[in-house]
Structure 1
């Protein structure tokens, strides 16, 4: 399972050669003025209040943080362009009574928004009719971000130091590959991880839905023998009857994990169906992150985890007994905004004599775009613990935010 240094070097050299040969094949333009005249900048800000109340010895957490993101995109020169993005996150008005995930104020509950200023993205790209390649620090978000995402909910989003390529030889077929050398996680720079990750994804659009196959071969480059290989496929589509649409999605994946001393295998299964009516949207789903005999739970370390298994973030790491999540949601539009109500029921995939019921959770959301530049929202997560493993307790979280983009 472990990818050898020779293989990694060969792949890196091959990708670099492809990158350079692609660039050199592009015809030279008459002028580079367009690079400057077409360059534009964006600024995006989010002021957010978050509170956490847990039924344990930790102090209740409160945070008011402001995330500011400056994005610069150059004009294109014969298909070449560059993107630079700076990101800053600050506590506001001294409201910083929280554990930021890096060890500070550990007597408080965690709100994973450390203060930071960093280069969020910096990459060179080439784009033509059916091919796109990026080299540098970048966002990589595949499919619904269940396995690879940007964790955009947190103030410091996740990016990757990587070379990535998308090739679309047919309108219906898209092939994606990325080689990742560093995972820039949501905890500023303190918990970034050197890596040797290979991400492969192929999607084909059929008349009734999109069929996707993928292989995510992960390895932390920390001097130890480790590997996390996931192979899977999904099918998602939509059927339309007059003004009513039905959505459906099925997914299965198999995972092998190896830490040198031991190895494990686990399966992933998801099924979801939804109906979009004139007034409301209704969705029912089932997701299973399997367990290997109660000793290992299916892992998705690069995912946008907050999006799945409840917003209280109780299951950012899958318990060794695995996790089954049966959920239902209803949502719609009211007062010019979007509302959603979601219920989760959690249980162990491999129940033991002491752990079976992993609790339940209620999530609620209302968000609204105020005008072309401003938006606002609020959401709630209320988790009730069952026979949950150590550390899982009744938890309430509340968010209020105001966003601005120019």
Structure 2
């Protein structure tokens, strides 16, 4: 691990020296001033994130309890060149190293005797793109991060040590101060799994991500989106999704509303139609923020449910990750209804949050279970971010009782 860190630091220092050093051998006739400015404006970043994740799960049908202990370190080197005639290059390389590896990351080297923690070891190119950027238009080609709205449909799964990024082409266009358009054609999603994982580490196909935003005024925004997904191999995930998201601020009351419809597409062997909706309302009472909501991933008579294969799923339906998929093969084709309430506050600089989830099926009136999630976050002199998270899922008619604890330290240079 130390060898890797030293290598990254050496590379970063060398790159920074190359970028910032004066070009003694060159004069103004050999280097265009714009090129020199682009080099001078280039940036190198290094970040580290160490995280302990402990898991304790009750056995199912008389089986023994299973546990996991994972201490992993993500090291990231980022290079972003300055603009040359609006063109720039971005490169990002990640390494994940396990200091304690008593966990199942779904690679073929694990037999499943430990609980699952999807933080596989390895080094990979997280981003590598060419970008053209003006005040109104941004074009990006290559491997890149794509995040839409609240990441319920298109996200980066940034919580996991190995991030999800996309290979493709993206155009973002600011029509005016109020209207923005965003379209991506993606042919491959680089997922959080390792190459030799029991699950595919990527998903290929023809994927169209479209989002249009309208800023009504400072207090109200509206987005419309369309996601047309045709998978090369995972045909049961192929779908067409169309919907809208509204976010409004009515003084002390904040409202978030979202609705979408989904149907089968491509070579999906199932024929189905399902709906999604989410309604949230929040308010502030002094130093306390209250938020309540209902999110529904609907089902088509139990044969298939609304799915979001490219979402940052850890953000939704509980941190214990019991509801990562609602497809016909996951056992949750009856859909999910999540009724939740969140309480937030800050005490002596520590951000605190607690959320309670009541989870049930959309079809068949099945009580899945309940979950409590707790968060404490603190920034130390803006150099280090400290985080403690806890999730406790109490199973009723789905899965098993599960408790998870995370302790995380992150820093960047």
Q: What is the TM-score normalised by the length of structure 2? A: 0.86
- The 4+ residue runs of structure 1 with deviation greater than 4 A are 223-226
Partner of 1:326: 339
Partner of 2:104: 99
Distance in 1 separating the partners of 2:256 and 2:81 = 38
Say whether residues 1:269 and 2:282 are aligned partners.
Answer: no
Q: Is the 1:58–1:109 contact (alpha carbons within 8 Å) kept by the matching residues of 2?
A: no
Shift of 1:226: 6.6
SS of 1:36's partner is helix
Say whether residues 1:298 and 2:303 are aligned partners.
Answer: no
Q: Is the 1:201–1:215 contact (alpha carbons within 8 Å) kept by the matching residues of 2?
A: yes
Partner of 1:395: 402
Q: Is the 2:42–2:81 contact (alpha carbons within 8 Å) kept by the matching residues of 1?
A: yes
Partner of 1:213: 224
Distance in 2 separating the partners of 1:183 and 1:129 = 28
Q: Gaps (5+ residues) in structure 2?
A: 1-31, 327-331
Partner of 1:135: 141
Paired residue for 2:180, among 174, 179, 182?
A: 174
Paired residue for 1:237, among 248, 252, 256?
A: 248
Partner of 1:251: 258
Shift of 1:276: 2.3
Q: Is the 1:210–1:235 contact (alpha carbons within 8 Å) kept by the matching residues of 2?
A: yes
Partner of 2:117: 111
Say whether residues 1:80 and 2:87 are aligned partners.
Answer: yes
SS of 2:314's partner is helix
Shift of 1:278: 2.6
Distance in 1 separating the partners of 2:307 and 2:299 = 10
Say whether residues 1:344 and 2:344 are aligned partners.
Answer: no
SS of 2:34's partner is coil
Distance in 1 separating the partners of 2:383 and 2:232 = 42
Distance in 1 separating the partners of 2:292 and 2:391 = 19
Q: Is the 2:236–2:270 contact (alpha carbons within 8 Å) kept by the matching residues of 1?
A: no
Q: Is the 2:235–2:269 contact (alpha carbons within 8 Å) kept by the matching residues of 1?
A: no
Shift of 1:225: 8.4
What is the correspondence of 1:25-40 to structure 2 with a 5 Å cutoff?
31-40=34-43
Shift of 1:372: 2.3
Partner of 2:44: 41
With over 3 angstroms needed to count, the CA separation of the structure-2 counterparts of 1:213 and 1:63, relative to structure 1, is: same
Q: Is the 1:47–1:401 contact (alpha carbons within 8 Å) kept by the matching residues of 2?
A: yes
Partner of 1:144: 150
Shift of 1:139: 0.3
Coordinate RMSD, CA, aligned:
1.6
Q: Is the 1:291–1:321 contact (alpha carbons within 8 Å) kept by the matching residues of 2?
A: yes
Q: Is the 2:375–2:389 contact (alpha carbons within 8 Å) kept by the matching residues of 1?
A: yes
Q: Gaps (5+ residues) in structure 1?
A: 1-28
Q: What is the TM-score normalised by the length of structure 1? A: 0.87
Distance in 1 separating the partners of 2:236 and 2:52 = 41
Partner of 1:90: 97
Partner of 1:368: 378
Q: Which moved more, 1:260-269 or 1:81-90?
A: 260-269
